[in-house]
Amino acid sequence: MPVPFVRHSEVDVLIIGAGPAGLMCANALANAKVNVRIVDKRAFKLTTGEGDGLSPRTVEVLQSYGLAERVLKEACQVHLAAFYNPSSTGGIELTNRTSNVTAPSARYPFEVALHQAAIQDIFIDSMTPLGVEVQRSTIPTSMELSKDDNELADPTSYPVRVVLQRLDKSEGEPQEEIVHAKFVVGCDGAHSWVRKQVDITMDGEQSDSIWGVVDMVTPDTDFPDVRNKALVHSNHGSVLLVSREQDRIRVYVQLEDKDVTDPVTGRVDKEKMGPEQILETAQKSLVPYKLIRKSEFLWWTIYSVGQRVASNFSINNRVFITGDACHTHSPKAGQGMNASINDSHNLAWKIALVVRGWADMSLLSTYESERRKFALDLIAFDKMWSTLFCGKPLTEQNNDGVSPDHFFKTFQTDFTSGIGIHYQPSVAVNDRNQELASGLVPGKRVPPYKFMRAADAWPFELQDLLPSDFLFKLLVFTGDFSDPLQQARVESMVTDIQKPESFLNRYATHENSRFDIITISKGRKETFNLFQLPTLLRSHWSKVFIDDTDPTGSFGGEGYSYYGVGPEGAVVAVRPDGYVGAIAPLDRVGDLDAYFASFMKIPADA
């Protein structure tokens, strides 16, 4: 018998699983020109169903990769949330209608609803021209991580050996390949194979609620909030209704255990209930309103939810898990896809910097410290929110029920927008000098604000000057450069930052800087001359901005006060993922040396 040929290959990053987490990771790494491969067991890409909501912060993140425009074009914007509770005459009544997103600094102050398959397509279409495609019908069958400490500590080594098997090859064709990877990212969902291989446990429990979901064309209805998000508490159970793209809606219905679980195994049995019965349950809860299906269901499912977080998000900073592989929670807070996309957004730049030799491996530890803390907060919120959402409503007969006011106030705490994420101090977040820019908080994302480009008074959103291109951005708030005292301070800062021992030179390669300098001055468009600035602060005319109103006088001009930056200015280092990393005063810009020294590496050719 001939010995079957087994191909060996090397790759910097092997991603297992092409859901939102895997595709985001692959797309981000492809953008960073990292050698990446992504495999998935599914023979075909997803076409419908599953997650469907993107939070305001996720849209900001997608914008930083140039993907938000298409998302917004295809999606439905959900601006209002309506709250229904039992009425005194039976049935339900509207008790509140409010903004669906209450975070005041949200650039996109609405939720974006689009089915998961469409979102996945956007990632796929973005990375295909970059030469990365999902290798389908492929599963890993074994994974070994080197135990050699030297190999594990060497970022150029390939310490993870994964055997991949093709499921679509006929007999006689090679079906196996051995991949030697620097890093493996397990994005393989709630039942993650990768997680099991490295003995990471999921801590938490199964929630006791079971949900049915149906997608359909907007039905024949007199329910006034059919095109909003409606959160319905009724005496027959809870319903969540979300408007969707292309005249569709999704209805989530709380189901009784006895109706959908197998009495022997205790597991959800999809044979026991179909979409018609799910809709009937919703209809009972929505009385006196009607909700009559006009055409076939587009998608449906039934599921119970575990509220769990993985004990670790990484092993030796070589094997990582992201997305549902490391946290599962109910869909009611709409965080499934969001948390998955943002895990990968957090991890990708760190891996890219390590692979390029720009950052020390220790930077990778901040993936777990930042994202596991977020996941624990998410589960805590999900438990509270689910208890309120699934609890019986407060009525005369049920004094212990959920009060509409309490439910509404909890909704307004706005955990779900993603805007409030605050990563704690670490090598990647230095919280010194906060008083110099109170609105730019180390560990939080840069809030949006529009500045005028000095050369042509063209208004630019600051977030758009911070693309996810794997460079650190230095926001230099010069203050008023026409003030001689301030001019002297800025020039002295420029001298300091250009010294050979300064981070700007220490970590620059001969070909590339790792930093993009964006200058934001105080000044009026009528009089400002960008060429008066030191050359370092105007590497290109397009890099200088002023805090002034737009030419029509409609907006702008309050950026310094919005970000809490005083007339003395400041330098703010923004991480490649758009989160503030560190702040320094102009006359002590060396504070940034310590920040970058904590994780950056001097280039080999320096």
Ligand X SMILES: Cc1cc2nc3c(=O)[nH]c(=O)nc-3n(C[C@H](O)[C@H](O)[C@H](O)COP(=O)(O)OP(=O)(O)OC[C@H]3O[C@@H](n4cnc5c(N)ncnc54)[C@H](O)[C@@H]3O)c2cc1C
Residues at the interface with ligand X (CB under 6 A)? 16-22, 39-42, 50-53, 116, 139-140, 187-189, 193, 213, 301, 303, 323-325, 331, 334, 336-337, 340
Rounded CA separation 390/232 (Å):
10
Please choose, from the candidates 490, 502, 516, 513, the residue with its C-alpha nearest in 3D space to the C-alpha of residue 593.
502
**Tokens read off for 139:** 């599963």
> Minimal distance in Å, beta carbon 303 to ligand X?
6
Rounded CA separation 12/33 (Å):
11
3-state secondary structure 388-415: HHHCCECCCCCCCCECHHHHHHHHCCCC
For 355-398, give the DSSP string.
HTTSB-GGGGHHHHHHHHHHHHHHHHHHHHHHHHHHSPBP-SS-
> Minimal distance in Å, beta carbon 103 to ligand X?
19
**Tokens read off for 441:** 């908080």
> Minimal distance in Å, beta carbon 74 to ligand X?
17
Catalytic residues: 52, 244, 252, 331
Pick between residue 379 and residue 493 the one whose CB is nearest to ligand X: 379
Q: At what angle do helices 20-31 and 116-127 cross, to 10 degrees?
A: 20
Pick between residue 136 and residue 180 the one whose CB is nearest to ligand X: 136
At a CB cut-off of 8 Å and minimum separation 6, what does 230 contact? Answer: 81, 82, 83, 84, 223, 239, 240, 241
Pick between residue 207 and residue 430 the one whose CB is nearest to ligand X: 207
Q: What is the DSSP letter of 537?
A: G
Pick between residue 134 and residue 429 the one whose CB is nearest to ligand X: 134
Rounded CA separation 118/61 (Å):
17
* 417 touches 243 (CB < 8 A): no
Rounded CA separation 121/459 (Å):
31
Pick between residue 53 and residue 418 the one whose CB is nearest to ligand X: 53
Pick between residue 181 and residue 592 the one whose CB is nearest to ligand X: 181
> Minimal distance in Å, beta carbon 374 to ligand X?
14
3-state secondary structure 548-603: CECCCCCCECCHHHHCCECCCCEEEEECCCCEEEEEECHHHCCHHHHHHHCCECCC
* 524 touches 548 (CB < 8 A): yes
Burial class of 353 by CB neighbour count within 10 A (0 to 12, 13 to 18, 19+): buried
> Minimal distance in Å, beta carbon 117 to ligand X?
10
* 160 touches 181 (CB < 8 A): yes
Pick between residue 189 and residue 559 the one whose CB is nearest to ligand X: 189
> Minimal distance in Å, beta carbon 182 to ligand X?
19
> Minimal distance in Å, beta carbon 411 to ligand X?
17
**Tokens read off for 96:** 């509140």
> Minimal distance in Å, beta carbon 50 to ligand X?
4
Pick between residue 326 and residue 584 the one whose CB is nearest to ligand X: 326
